[in-house]
Amino acid sequence: MVESILRIEGIHLAFGGVNALRGVSLEVREGEIFSLIGPNGAGKTVLLNCVNGLYHPQQGRIRFGGKDLAGFKPYQRAALGISRTFQKIELFSGMTVLDNIRLGRHLHMRTGLLTGALYVGPAASEEVAHREFIEREIIDFLEMTHLRDRVVGMLPYGLQKRVELGRALALNPRLILLDEPMAGLNLEEVEDMARFIIDINEEARWRVTCLLVEHDMGVVMDISHRVAVLNFGEKIAEGTPEQVQADPLVHQAYLGEEEDVFTSRR
């Protein structure tokens, strides 16, 4: 049986009188694409924020690779191998594609402040090695070689989403949290992003476990191994895409949506 890489146990989180998460438990197995779906305000992004340490639940426990994450700051969780993209793009718009992605490698830098500032000896060698990794393994993989020196703020929205994915990959993560990576993309861009997610999950050079929050139900049902559904801060269903599509509680949660909300567009 495949071991779990992420275990969330009975998470409760409230903001004042609003119960954002109410006893949510789930288990993400190593090597899978696990998707979180649900109506707006269901608590999906809140749960991702708990996993990477931006929010701290009042009750419950989160374990990653068997390690209890209580007390771990976001950068410490990143050092363990948790990276993420954001619902709203969080890039440095005045920097180039290459420089934005290079920021994702900072946790792997080993030289000290002085040698790094002087850029001699080990610092120079380390910088060259990291840059080669980014050029060869990330920029080429994401088909952005011709954009490497472009300023990010001048790129179309879909390409900025791709840069953010590249920065998350630069960490060499074991688990990547993907918060609505398809939002705002046209059909062609959605297909490209779905292909990249499948590749980082399946290709031997990556083998990254993915926890995906997404509203595009066609993509979710096409690429996910398992799916969990949140509604008003509670988990109401979990299983394979086929099991979730057939669950009456899920259909009830999506009342008001079009009848073919779960139909693939690919």
Which of the residue ranges 63-67, 104-108, 117-121 has the most confident prediction, judged by mean pLDDT? 63-67
Q: Which amino acid is at 120?
A: V
DSSP 212-247: EE-S-HHHHHHH-SEEEEEETTEEEEEE-HHHHHT-
Please, what are the domains in the chain? 1-81+173-266 (3.40.50.300), 97-170 (no CATH)
Structure tokens at 56: 């701290």
Q: Which amino acid is at 54?
A: L
| Residues 58, 36 contacting (CB under 8 angstroms) | no
Confidence of residue 116 (pLDDT cuts 50, 70, 90): very low
pTM above 0.75, yes or no: yes
Sequence length of the chain is: 266
Q: What percent of the chain has pLDDT over 70?
A: 88
Least confident of 2-11, 108-117, 158-167: 108-117
CA dihedral 183, 215, 232, 33 (to 10 degrees): -110
Alpha-carbon separation of residue 95 from 7, 99, 107, 121, 159 (angstroms):
36, 6, 19, 26, 14
Q: What is the pLDDT of residues 162-211, one digit of tens each?
A: 999 999 999 999 999 999 999 999 999 999 999 999 999 999 889 999 99
- What is the bridge-based pairing of β-strands 226-231 and 33-37? parallel
Q: Which of 262, 47, 82 is nearest to 169 (CA)?
A: 82
Q: Tell me what pLDDT residue 2 has.
A: 74
The CA radius of gyration of the chain, in Å to the nearest whole number, is: 19
Q: Which of 104, 55, 103 is nearest to 82 (CA)?
A: 104
Q: Does the pLDDT value for residue 107 go beyond 80?
A: no
Mean of per-residue pLDDT scores for the chain: 89
Structure tokens at 164: 């953010």
- What is the bridge-based pairing of β-strands 82-84 and 209-213? unpaired
Q: Check residue 208 and report its DSSP letter.
A: -
- Rounded mean pLDDT, 127-137: 80
How far the first Cα of the chain sits from its last, in Å, is 31
Q: Tell me what pLDDT residue 129 has.
A: 73
